[in-house]
Structure 1
Amino acid sequence: MTTAPADPWPAPRASAPVDAVVSLPGSKSLTNRALVLAALAEGPSVVRRALRSRDTTLMAAALTALGSHVDTSGPDWAVTPGPFGGDVKVDCGLAGTVMRFVPPVAGLSTGSVAFDGDPHMRTRPIGEVLGALRHLGVAVEDEDRGALPFTVHGTGAMPGGTVVVDASASSQFISALLLAGARYDRGVDVRHDGKPVPSLPHIDMTVAMLREHGVEVDDSDANRWTVAPGPIRAVDHLIEPDLSNAAPFLALAAVSGGSVTVRDWPQETTQAGDALREILARMGCDVARVAEGLRVTGTGTLEGIDVDLHDVGELAPAVAALCALAGSPSHLRGIAHIRGHETDRLAALATELGALGSDVTEHPDGLEIRPAALHGGVFHTYADHRMAHAGVIVGAAIDGVLVENVATTAKTFPDFAAFWSGLL
């Protein structure tokens, strides 16, 4: 039986160089996309090495409520598609993928599907997806909030067609419409109109997975994605390790002057976390592919970095924590959109790093961080797993850091605190 960590949790200090080889849970992004496509497919399939976390079990429960069956009893999750029908409720928790990916699937139901989630989820943007669904032929009831709670009234079929969205707040708006699009009578032609779409690797991931299922996708034009109507072939997926979750572990090598290897790092991937290789190398680490996976070796000192994280914004909290420990200034830019993640991450990072002594300036689209002497204190997480990662990274280098609600890491990494403590 796992013992719940203290709250606030004393983040363990790395008193010596850490030398470790770690195996990480599977990718949340890949797992939840694979589950949606499996639920829409022609026949049964298996999602192997699925991530078992709050976000993924919420997705499995949502798709099962709609009419598919997702068996999560083992490490490999069997998915049996079923007819979508009946009036049901979907709990989104704090999972943006559930809130955004499931409504386009619910449009294919013959019942009414009511969506809600944790209180903070009512502040996260979803209006563009709901507006797109209305335009594509679905009745959505949200009292003009453009936010949770809302209800999708399915009719059993979706006409589909062309839709224009502003996805500058989240690439998930695009992925949500593409994933179910092949099941719409005319497919979908999704066009983006607005500031640049953030986190484009996540859309590339969606497109690649659709093609694995035999779906025809045209992404040859910038800011336009077309999915042809047709069947979604049943395909078994083997889920890669979650590379974004590798950030605190590789950071541990950097701050301790040790060496950490993440097993099974893919040679090719669409995951945003792969950018850690370049980022950590630029900050002064030795980064190498080895037989086991990816190895990062730190020197005990860190160089600041000036980097645009627009496409990989989910890495910003971990990178910001490293920058607060660096010996030269840093500027993280291009990440205004992470204000709409689990919390306003820019404001939260500026507040929490500043409270520990960091010299940090918050900008509309990023952070400027200058060298300063840090000290212990409480690091609040705002129910955001990536904020908890930032807190434990600082705590590995600074005595007396207490991470509030470290259990929020269960969103993508169950038992993170125990695993982390075991390395130190």
Structure 2
Amino acid sequence: MTESWPAPRPIGPVASVVSLPGSKSLTNRALVLAAIADGPGVVRRPLRSRDTLLMAAGLRAMGVGVEDRDDDWLVTPRPMVGDAAVDCGLAGTVMRFVPPIAGLARGRIAFDGDPHMRNRPVGEVLAALTALGIRVEDEGRGALPFTVVGTGTVPGGTVVIDASASSQFISALLLAGARYEHGVDVRHDGKPVPSLPHIEMTVAMLRERGVDVDDGDANRWAVAPGIVAALDQAVEPDLSNAAPFLALAATSGGSVTVRDWPEHTTQPGDALREILVAMGCTVERVTGPDAGLRVTGGDTIAGIDLDMHDIGELTPAVAALCALADSPSHLRGIGHIRGHETDRLAALATELTGLGADVTEHADGLTIRPAALHGGVFHTYADHRMAHAGVIVGSAVDGVLVEDIATTGKTFPDFAGVWTGVVGPA
């Protein structure tokens, strides 16, 4: 049985400076692009966590060189020949981004992961790969486990998919598309695509490598065939991982600075700046030795009415903060996060209610009203963002026990140690 971790509560307003590990989203995209580039490239200051280590291991299994160079990874593209097995763990990016490049290998590439991953959606990607000329063996499941039978080349062309469950479906095809004989022309047909900033991130990284991407029409992204130029890529801090630390400024009435916050970024976590202002915080950029973004909490936390369709990964942290607010909140447009590491809407409603919160779960969101919270066990469902929600509540409520805090290692090694260093021991 997994032990529960006593979430520490600060004894007064915090005043801290935090350095975050690199972005998982940027790291795994950089690794995939480096693996199919026209020469060796360096991924600088990558995140080294379970998700990114699984990506590196999966690429190595297919023959790509991924070597440690101090804090960096040197990636050397090599012919991907022979059978291989790729462990996806709980990493959606591995499950969705690697199969499109596995079609460029010569061999049978088998994919599987943790038990819960067999429930996460990937069927649209597999169907798209089949339409683009890649043989996929999944016994009709449209889910893990499956095998991609690579022949070394992929015809490519036009494909229509429904990406309303995940923007990763589109990014997966775009990342590999330049290496297909006819490129790839991806057309979305369905409800609005969630997390569009992640597609914008993919497009920006492709263009940095000289890839021709046409995204001028709504719900259509076309990648022309051509080379993917080798590039040394510096990885930004993971701004979504900043959420619990910046929320701590609000819950403690203190101040938290996140170092090296980029001036311009495609990361969805950048939306925290506006969200926290709306909830009563002061947000400012600071210069000097600790240059970055500083958030200072106000006297109270205000509730919000927010469409989070494009920034769904921030929902657990924002919902936790809303449970501590002095006015009602409504978070909407996030039905797609039911297909994340767990059904995050159901999990948040269950766990916040278990600590005394007044939560109503809707098909696409949550309504959270002010209520007196109390201690208890906050279950995480092997979901790192749920653990973030638990520690945020614990920073303002005595006796919160976060189950399986180690799940934060998915994107933040030693999160518990860093959090304790900022907050103080329980």
TM-score (norm 2): 0.98
Report SS of the residue matched to 1:387. helix
- Structure 1 stretch 157-166 or stretch 6-15: which is displaced more? 6-15
Distance 1:124 1:74 in 2: 34
Q: CA deviation at 1:299?
A: 1.7
Q: Letter of the aligned partner of 2:240 in structure 1?
A: S
Task: After superposition, give the CA deviation of every residue in 1:324-361 in whole Å (9 maximum; x if it has no partner).
Answer: 00000000000000000000000000000000000000
TM-score (norm 1): 0.98
Report SS of the residue matched to 1:288. strand
Task: After superposition, give the CA deviation of every residue in 1:246-290 in whole Å (9 maximum; x if it has no partner).
Answer: 000000001000000000000000000000000000000001111
Distance 1:332 1:105 in 2: 36
Residue of structure 2 equivalent to 1:382: 381
Alignment partner of 1:391 is 2:390: yes
Report SS of the residue matched to 2:330. strand
Residue of structure 1 equivalent to 2:360: 361
Q: Letter of the aligned partner of 2:215 in structure 1?
A: D
Assess if the C-alpha contact under 8 Å between 1:199 and 1:313 holds in 2. yes
Residue of structure 2 equivalent to 1:3: none
Residue of structure 2 equivalent to 1:59: 55
Q: Letter of the aligned partner of 2:96 in structure 1?
A: R
Task: After superposition, give the CA deviation of every residue in 1:159-182 in whole Å (9 maximum; x if it has no partner).
Answer: 000000000000000000000000
Report SS of the residue matched to 2:392. helix
Alignment partner of 1:287 is 2:286: no
Equivalent residue in structure 2 for 1:47, among 18, 43, 46: 43
Alignment partner of 1:419 is 2:415: no
Residue of structure 2 equivalent to 1:210: 206
Q: CA deviation at 1:300?
A: 3.9
Identity of aligned residues (%): 77
Displaced runs of 4 or more, over 2 A: none
Distance 1:421 1:7 in 2: 17
Alignment partner of 1:76 is 2:40: no
Equivalent residue in structure 2 for 1:163, among 156, 159, 166: 159
Residue of structure 1 equivalent to 2:13: 17
Task: After superposition, give the CA deviation of every residue in 1:177-230 in whole Å (9 maximum; x if it has no partner).
Answer: 000000000000000000000000000000000000000000000000000000
Alignment partner of 1:332 is 2:331: yes
Residue of structure 2 equivalent to 1:201: 197
Assess if the C-alpha contact under 8 Å between 1:139 and 1:153 holds in 2. yes
Equivalent residue in structure 1 for 2:92, among 92, 96, 107: 96
Q: Letter of the aligned partner of 1:395 in structure 2?
A: G
Q: CA deviation at 1:85?
A: 1.3
Please show how residues 172-211 of structure 1 align to structure 2 within 5 Å. Answer: 172-211=168-207
Distance 2:214 2:146 in 1: 31
- Structure 1 stretch 59-68 or stretch 349-358: which is displaced more? 59-68
Distance 1:61 1:158 in 2: 23
Q: Letter of the aligned partner of 2:395 in structure 1?
A: A
Q: Letter of the aligned partner of 2:312 in structure 1?
A: G
Assess if the C-alpha contact under 8 Å between 1:30 and 1:239 holds in 2. yes
Assess if the C-alpha contact under 8 Å between 1:256 and 1:300 holds in 2. no
Q: Letter of the aligned partner of 1:341 in structure 2?
A: H
Equivalent residue in structure 2 for 1:131, among 120, 127, 130: 127
Q: Letter of the aligned partner of 1:98 in structure 2?
A: V
Distance 1:33 1:86, change over 3 A: same
Residue of structure 1 equivalent to 2:111: 115
Residue of structure 2 equivalent to 1:258: 254
Q: Give 5+ residue unaligned stretches, structure 1.
A: 1-5
Distance 2:299 2:143 in 1: 45
Distance 1:220 1:118 in 2: 38
Task: After superposition, give the CA deviation of every residue in 1:391-419 in whole Å (9 maximum; x if it has no partner).
Answer: 00000000000000000000000000011
Distance 1:212 1:235 in 2: 8
Report SS of the residue matched to 2:283. strand
Equivalent residue in structure 2 for 1:244, among 232, 240, 244: 240
Backbone CA RMSD of aligned residues = 0.7
Q: Give 5+ residue unaligned stretches, structure 2.
A: none
Distance 2:49 2:372 in 1: 36
Distance 1:301 1:423 in 2: 21
- Structure 1 stretch 73-82 or stretch 262-271: which is displaced more? 73-82
Q: CA deviation at 1:142?
A: 0.5
Q: CA deviation at 1:71?
A: 1.0
Assess if the C-alpha contact under 8 Å between 1:27 and 1:240 holds in 2. yes
Q: Letter of the aligned partner of 2:274 in structure 1?
A: E
Assess if the C-alpha contact under 8 Å between 1:255 and 1:300 holds in 2. no
Q: Letter of the aligned partner of 2:349 in structure 1?
A: A
Distance 1:356 1:72 in 2: 44
Report SS of the residue matched to 2:222. strand
Q: Letter of the aligned partner of 1:99 in structure 2?
A: M
Alignment partner of 1:7 is 2:3: yes
Report SS of the residue matched to 2:106. coil
Distance 2:69 2:148 in 1: 29
Q: Letter of the aligned partner of 1:87 in structure 2?
A: D
Q: Letter of the aligned partner of 1:209 in structure 2?
A: M
Distance 2:334 2:210 in 1: 34
Distance 1:265 1:72 in 2: 25
Distance 1:10 1:366 in 2: 28
Report SS of the residue matched to 2:151. coil
Q: CA deviation at 1:74?
A: 2.6
Q: CA deviation at 1:73?
A: 5.4
